[in-house]
Structures are given as C-alpha cells and as structure tokens.
Amino acid sequence: MNNRIYRKVVICFLVLLVCTNVSYSADFVITLGTGVPIPQPKKRGSATLVVVNNQPYLFDAGVGVQDQFIAAMKKYPEYASFISPERVRQVFLTHLHSDHTLGLDEMIYGVWAGNARSEKLDIYGPEQTDELVSGLHYAFRADKDLRLYGLEPVTVDGWMTNVKVTPATGQVYKDDNVTVTAFPVKHGTWPDPRGYLVKTDKGHLIVISGDNREPELLVPYAKVADVVISEVYTLSNFDDNFPKESEETKEFWTEYFNSFHTSTKQLAEAMKKAKPKLLVTTHQITGQTTGKVASALITKEMRLYGYDGPLINAQDLTLIEIPHSSPN
C-alpha cells in the first residue's frame, strides 16, 4: 500500500472513530398517551414527553405511562437511552384529573422498584398536588418499607419526591436545557388548571394546552410556537359519545363539554389566528370513531372550520422532531 492510500485509510478511520463517539443531541416530543377517561384499547392516559438535549421532561402522567416509556424505547431504539423512565427528573401536571395523574405512582414507585432511580423526583403542579403525592406515599408505605428493609436491591432515595405547588402563571422551572412557564387555562371548575410553554436552549417553543375549554388562551403563545399540542373533540358525531342516553342526559353532556373541553371549531378558529408552525392534537374525543377514521374526521372538521395549517393528529407514541422539518 503506497503512502497516499495509507494516509487516506488512516484519515477515514479517524473520522469514523470520532463520529461514532460524538454524543448526539436530540430534541423531540413523544405523545406517550393520548387517551381520555373512558378506557380505549389502543390509547393510554394523557402523557407528553419533551426531550431536549437528550434530557426528558414529562407533562402529565396518565395511566400506563411507565409501559408507554418502554413501548417508546422499543419503537424508537435510536433514542432509547434518552427516553428510559428513570432519566425523568421533572414531572409537570396541568391539573389533577385522574386521567392525567393515575400513572404518577408508576413514575414514583414503579421506576424505583426496578432499582432504576436513585434521586428524588421533582413534581410541579397546581393546588393539592402535594396532597395527591402524600396520599400516594401513604398508600404505598408497606411496599416502600418492604423494599427498603427487605431483600430487594433498591436505592435509598429513589422513592422520594420533591413537590412544588406552583401558580398557574409564570416561570415554574429552568435549567440549561429548558425554561418552563405556566399559563392559565379554563377547565370546568378546577381552580387553577394550566398549560405550559416550554422554551428550549435553542429558542424553540412548545405549547402544551392540557385540558382547556378556551383555545383563545393559547393564541399569544401559539403565535410564536414551533409546536402547539392541544386537546380536541369532534362536533359532527358528538352524539355518538352517548348512544344510549336520553335527550336530557345529552344536554347535560353538551354543557359539560362546553365547560371543560375544546371543539374542532374552537380550535380551528383560534389556530387560524395564531398560525403555529405545527399543530398537534391529542386527548381526542371522537365518539365511537377510532384510529385513522377518527384522525381523518378531525382533519376534515379543522379544515371545514378554517384552519389550513400544518396538522398532526397524534396517536400514542407519535414522535415530533423539534423543529419539525416536514409538516403535512
């Protein structure tokens, strides 16, 4: 082998060696759970994972969230080391409805029981978040004591939590990767539900609505957002949600939805004003319609009511890159 070829081989080898050892920095969102209180076979409870510089941050923790982490790791093996549940250090709750919190015990005790967490878990949320977490600790005290003082190989501090009850307005968290700011939304009679604005160190903005009946409240944040993640329910098949109910009961549920949730018409009108770079729907209430048919119905109604921007109707484990390079 002559010297020129030898040098080229050595250079290629060194480049390959360096590239394989570079730490890849990934920013993305995974909708771990997009379900609603009524159980659905292919949807788990509300949970959204934001990953910035390979560090995950969890927003809401619906039922099955720990399983969804594992499912996401299998679906996206290239990101598996970033999205394992023990890497989560912060959980942000939008409100305390059970479909957004039933997986909180999984994040506290389930992850710890697998000897995966060694540090306290920080939990941010509205009034009574501290009571909710205290109740979980009380409920699992026998489990905790047996694991701590029995034969299980668990860490001493991994079951502990640091709960921070925060106002629905203003910055609630900041580190080198993200700044998380709460903003008030309206969800029935909950005293202080909130959405969250996540600003990354690169300046990208992610809006998470939580459950909210007034999408107009999202507009100031959505105008500058890279991604808006919002709940929605369809209108054209609304009565299909209650096929066996009386007219009186249907009237009750109509009033309930108007007080608690966002319709496609409301969301389309608000996002038509805001023009976010990408709108993602989650927590979709679509009557008896599911899967691709439900997604098509949401899109049809959003277009009918005037929103013509980029739209993804997320399913469980949908991954959205930040910034999103190829909106549909």
Q: pLDDT truncated to tens, each residue of the chain (328 aa)?
A: 554 443 333 334 333 433 443 345 689 999 999 999 888 888 999 999 999 999 999 999 999 999 999 999 999 999 999 999 999 999 999 999 999 999 999 999 999 998 888 999 999 999 999 999 999 999 999 999 999 998 888 999 999 999 999 999 999 999 999 999 999 999 999 999 999 999 999 999 999 999 999 999 999 999 999 999 999 999 988 888 777 788 888 889 889 999 999 999 999 999 999 999 999 999 999 988 899 999 999 999 999 999 999 999 999 999 999 987 654 4
Per-residue confidence (pLDDT) for residue 91, from 0 to 100: 99
HEC assignment per residue over 18-69: HHHHCCCCCCEEEEEECCCCCCECCECCCEEEEEECCEEEEECCCCCHHHHH
**In whole angstroms, how far apart are CA 39 and each of 36, 43, 53?**
7, 8, 34
Q: Which two tokens stand for residue 100?
A: 């957004």
Per-residue confidence (pLDDT) for residue 16, from 0 to 100: 40
Quick one: how many helices (H) and strands (E) in the chain?
10, 14
The rounded distance, in Å, linking the Cα atoms of 108 and 313 is 30
User: Is the separation of the CB atoms in 13 and 249 below 8 Å?
Assistant: no
User: Is the separation of the CB atoms in 200 and 322 below 8 Å?
Assistant: yes
User: What DSSP element (H or E) covers 282?
Assistant: strand 279-285
User: Is the separation of the CB atoms in 32 and 49 below 8 Å?
Assistant: yes
The rounded distance, in Å, linking the Cα atoms of 50 and 32 is 10
Residue ranges in 54-170 assigned as alpha helix (H): 65-75, 104-105, 111-113, 129-139, 141-149
The rounded distance, in Å, linking the Cα atoms of 287 and 177 is 39
C-beta neighbour count of 27 within 10 angstroms: 21
Per-residue confidence (pLDDT) for residue 14, from 0 to 100: 35
Nearest to 94 by CA among 45, 51, 52: 45
The rounded distance, in Å, linking the Cα atoms of 29 and 200 is 12
- Residue environment code for 40-65, b if the CB has 16+ CB neighbours within 10 A, otherwise e: eeebbbbbbbbbbbbbbbbbbbbbbb
User: Is the separation of the CB atoms in 46 and 35 below 8 Å?
Assistant: yes
Instruction: Show the domains of the chain with their CATH numbers.
Output: 24-321 (3.60.15.10)
Per-residue confidence (pLDDT) for residue 24, from 0 to 100: 56
Per-residue confidence (pLDDT) for residue 38, from 0 to 100: 87
Q: What is the pTM of this model?
A: 0.90
In three-state secondary structure terms, 197 is strand
Per-residue confidence (pLDDT) for residue 5, from 0 to 100: 42
Nearest to 211 by CA among 178, 169, 257: 257
User: Is the separation of the CB atoms in 120 and 152 below 8 Å?
Assistant: no
User: What DSSP element (H or E) covers 206?
Assistant: strand 205-208
